[in-house]
Amino acid sequence: PAKEEVFVRLSNLLTASYGLKITNSLGQTLVTLDERAFTNNQATINISTLATGMYFVTIQAGENKETKKLVIE
């Protein structure tokens, strides 16, 4: 579980175009980052304004997309 920040590191990127979004259980997008928000394929995301609960982090790189659960305490 996370409280204030989430650290994301992307590896094996074969494309220069990628992004990340955090959505709630209703599918509403709450956070969106594109490749400009990353330094050396890494980003720290401030989640302190999000309420306690479960969210979904989706990373898209080119045609590839992966979604993981994020629990905020």
Total residue count of the chain as it appears in this document? 73
In this structure, what DSSP letter does residue 37 have? G
Mean pLDDT for all residues in the chain? 91
Longest dimension (CA), the chain: 34
Q: Are 45 and 70 spatial neighbours (Cβ–Cβ below 8 Å)?
A: no
Higher-pLDDT residue of 72, 41: 72
Which pTM was predicted?
A: 0.87
* Distance, CA of 9 to CA of 64 (rounded, Å): 16
Binned at pLDDT 50, 70 and 90, residue 51 comes out as: very high
Check if the beta carbon of residue 21 is closer than 8 Å to that of residue 33: yes
**pLDDT at res. 56:** 98
10-42, pLDDT tens digit by residue? 887 666 788 999 999 999 999 999 988 988 889
